[in-house]
Structure 1
Amino acid sequence: MTQEAHKVVIVGGGAGGLELAAKLGRKFGPGNIFLVDKEGSHIWKPSLHEVAAGTLDIHREGLSYPMLAKDCGFTFVLGEVRAVDRAARTLLLAPVTFEGCEIFPERSIGYDTLVLALGSKSNFFDTPGTAEYAVALDSTEQAERFRQLLLRALVIVDRDQPLGTARVLNIAIVGGGATGVELAAELVESCKNVAYYGLTHLDPAADVKITLLEGAPRILAALPEKVSDAAHELLSQRGVTVNTSVKVAAIQADGVVDVQGRHYPCDLCVWAAGIKAPALLKETGLPVNPINQIIVDAGLRTEDPAVFAFGDCAQAPWNGTNKFLPARAQVAHQQADFLIPVLSARIAGTEPPSAPFRFKDYGSLVSLGHNRGVGSLMGVLSGKNMFVQGIVARLMYMSLHLMHHRAVLGLVRTANIAIGRLLLKRSAPRVKLH
């Protein structure tokens, strides 16, 4: 009698989940490895700020999950997880619809081992007005929505200039972490480039005001102070107003109000302050922290021996410290590699490795436009930090995206994609206009 295949179901096709599915799929095949995601294509989440600014076209950047499943040897299941039945070891998937038509009905999928890699989304902290007046950048749809709102606002400013009724377009970004800082820099570049394409009355330097609001005493508070200071200076040089120690109390139709009653005018508001894991995780019955992250041990295991969790949706201990691992792409990447031998042993029915996950911090890089960047690299050999900035930091930042593609697609296809995108830029506008 043929033994039934051990089914590993990975929920979430973000940076970590997709890499894990691709590497395990090439090793075991579609009968063992399943990837579930509510979207049909994958985009590297750290690039969503470029989608929002229009400097990156999502329709050229996205990778189709069905294509990746065929090429990498896993089974892709389209659908949003509605419930997890740990007793029966099944997932309930919501129906998939398109323009009111049901494509897939409500379904269930069984698992032997479940890996939760659902990522995170913006945490509004119950701030009044966020749902009505702020845009988050958690998905391609949200990033595209902001891009369209931005283009519309720029066209209105350009149209009204000759009429003598024009006013400054105020853009407020709440949150001075990596997403907020990178978006501010990218918007400067985007607005400058949009003016080249028919908006002849628009002066981006005078007609667009970008304000970055951060609650901590400095932006990029999680990174070394030298990186924070360099980013602050570069943003200021580009005309971005950086306000620190600002605690936002509410978002209104015409601006942002802080706890001291100060009003910051804005026509467009982006919320990039804090994260939380999806609410679904609270309903699994597994222990979670106040921001819904599932609590895991040093082996990325939950209380349920059949369930693992990693990436932004998990609270994992940071080896050698009394802290928890940060929500960063390099953490998810390393955790995916750690889980490969663990899950391979479960599939093969052998004893899994017992060594805990140990995170190696290689530093952080922040993009400040197409020719700028800042970052702090960990000197792996010397044990010291190395500060980098300018085009070198920008190129290193771009290489992180290519490394992700390489993990999923392999070296040859990644090289072909990189060359193809470089050539396509020659015939495309500097910003997405349609």
Structure 2
Amino acid sequence: MVADRKTQIVIVGGGAAGLELARKLGAHYGRKRHDIILIDRNRTHIWKPLLHEVATGSLDASMDEVGYRSHCHRWGYRYLYGQFDRIDRAAQQVHIAPMFDDKGREVVSAHVVRYDYLVLAYGSVTNDFGTPGVVDNCLFLDSRGQADSFRDQLLNHCLRVSRAMVARPTSDARVRIAIVGGGATGVELAAELYNAADALGYYGLEVFDRARLDVTLLEAGPRILPALPDRLAEAAHGELEALGVKVLTGMAVTESTEEGMKTGDGAFVPADLQIWAAGVKAAPVRGGLDGLALSRGGQVIVRPTLQSETDDRIFAMGDCAYSMLPRRDRPVPPRAQAAHQMASTAFTNIKRLLAERPLVDFNYRDHGSLVSLSRFSTVGSLMGKLVGGRMAVEGRLARFVYLSLYRMHLLAVHGWWRGSALIAVSHINRLVRPRLKLH
């Protein structure tokens, strides 16, 4: 390495793990002898577990998103707008694909970024399992843009139904929505839809209410929310049905058409909107990862230090990492809490690597799972030393802990002072913001 050249640490992906790591490295090293670079195809960051609220209009992402350029200026790293294309490990380079605007004009040309150390944190996308018709007919909730698109289509369908009822009061017009996947995303979205329907009456759709929603949740497994204990999953099931959701378990979708979903038992679920939320897989990398060892699902296989199994200079964390730790019978799950913990371990190990000290192993601590059924209910389980094992939680306590997860994310991304200020501002915003974002 050239003596006067800065040590260049490149982070691909500005999600929860990547953005937290960029902040910590930038704050620790600054720009004098180190060049911390964050690459992302988006200009802003939104916490992925909130996308179902963005999709229904319950959350205005413009108020909660983080602009990478202002964030990097504050914390001492550089942000590059671009689409990750491939790695050249021999040359220690990341290749960036060209980016184009809506009219097809090139905004960012293809280029390369060198690295001394590389951290892959490019996340995951929804897994359609190759089901026919899903790509063409279903909506996904992997990004802010997809959530915005869902909200626009939802509002358009609600407006059509409202106008049909005004024109003919006896009309049985409904907004039919099919959600595939009974995990946290599908369940939370189903409940949030009814919260949005209740609020629409305040914003010009006086004749529209939740009775005009026809929501079906399809889950291929024997029950929804497999990460939760049976009792809590049953409680959530009951809450959804009380709202009006038709919950169908043991119901595998075999095809999506323009009119709705076909299931394995020959049934057909008609739908105006179809949302696919049935599992995730590592986001595809168009040009490949130059021989890095990958799992069957395309994740980068990492050692306990979070270094790639193939290359000591490359780390992976978050949803794109396959981490099988000792004394665990399954890989670390793709959850926000895992991403946060991995970012902390990656930060420690990069510091140790640069100081030529032994690295530490990642130790995943499962703090439990929480699922919010909008303002109607929250259920979950807490695990760890705090409760001495595993404890089922519901109601206000569960809601408090659920909201605390986002507060912890704000502190991790913005630091204690600014994060605490943003938490305080968010309480004020709840009083002055509209209940729904309608544009």
User: TM-score category by the smaller chain?
Assistant: over 0.9
Deviation at 1:384, TM superposition (A): 2.1
Matched-pair contact (CA < 8 Å) for 2:218–2:248? yes
Distance 2:149 2:427 in 1: 26
Alignment-derived partner of residue 192 in structure 1: 198
SS in 2 for 1:418: helix
SS in 1 for 2:239: helix
Matched-pair contact (CA < 8 Å) for 1:135–1:269? yes
Matched-pair contact (CA < 8 Å) for 1:56–1:431? yes
Distance 2:381 2:329 in 1: 22
Alignment of 1:212-291 (within 5 A): 212-280=217-285, 283-284=288-289, 285-291=291-297
Alignment-derived partner of residue 175 in structure 2: 169
Q: Deviations over 1:208-253 (max 9, x none)?
A: 1111100110101122222211211111111111110111101111
Paired residue type of 1:265: P
Paired residue type of 1:107: H
Distance 1:266 1:195 in 2: 23
Distance 1:34 1:347 in 2: 16
Q: 2:107 aligns with which of 103, 109, 127?
A: 103
Alignment-derived partner of residue 41 in structure 1: 44
Distance 1:340 1:79 in 2: 23
Alignment-derived partner of residue 26 in structure 1: 27
Q: Deviations over 1:37-93 (max 9, x none)?
A: 111111100000000011001111111001111111111111111121111111111
Paired residue type of 1:233: G
SS in 1 for 2:167: coil
Distance 2:122 2:384 in 1: 31
Gaps of 5+ in 1: none
Paired residue type of 2:118: L
Paired residue type of 2:254: A
Distance 1:188 1:342 in 2: 45
Deviation at 1:112, TM superposition (A): 0.7
Alignment-derived partner of residue 121 in structure 1: 125
Paired residue type of 1:11: V
Alignment-derived partner of residue 406 in structure 2: 401
Matched-pair contact (CA < 8 Å) for 2:200–2:209? no
Paired residue type of 1:401: Y
SS in 2 for 1:81: strand
Matched-pair contact (CA < 8 Å) for 1:8–1:32? yes
Q: Are positions 1:412 and 2:413 aligned together?
A: no
Q: Are positions 1:325 and 2:328 aligned together?
A: no
Distance 2:369 2:247 in 1: 21
Distance 1:226 1:75 in 2: 47
Distance 1:99 1:308 in 2: 34
Alignment-derived partner of residue 179 in structure 1: 185
Distance 2:95 2:302 in 1: 23
160-169 or 142-151, which deviates more: 160-169
Distance 1:152 1:42 in 2: 26
Alignment-derived partner of residue 304 in structure 1: 311
Aligned residue pairs, count: 431
Deviation at 1:423, TM superposition (A): 2.2
Paired residue type of 1:268: L
Matched-pair contact (CA < 8 Å) for 2:51–2:141? yes
Matched-pair contact (CA < 8 Å) for 1:92–1:108? yes
Distance 1:381 1:7 in 2: 39
Indicate how the Cα distance of structure 1 residues 16 and 423 shifts in structure 2: closer, same or farther if over 3 A, else same: same
The TM-score with structure 1 as length reference comes to 0.96
SS in 1 for 2:370: strand
The TM-score with structure 2 as length reference comes to 0.94
Gaps of 5+ in 2: none
Matched-pair contact (CA < 8 Å) for 1:373–1:389? yes
Identity, % of aligned positions: 41
Matched-pair contact (CA < 8 Å) for 1:341–1:352? no
Distance 2:177 2:323 in 1: 36
Q: Are positions 1:334 and 2:341 aligned together?
A: yes
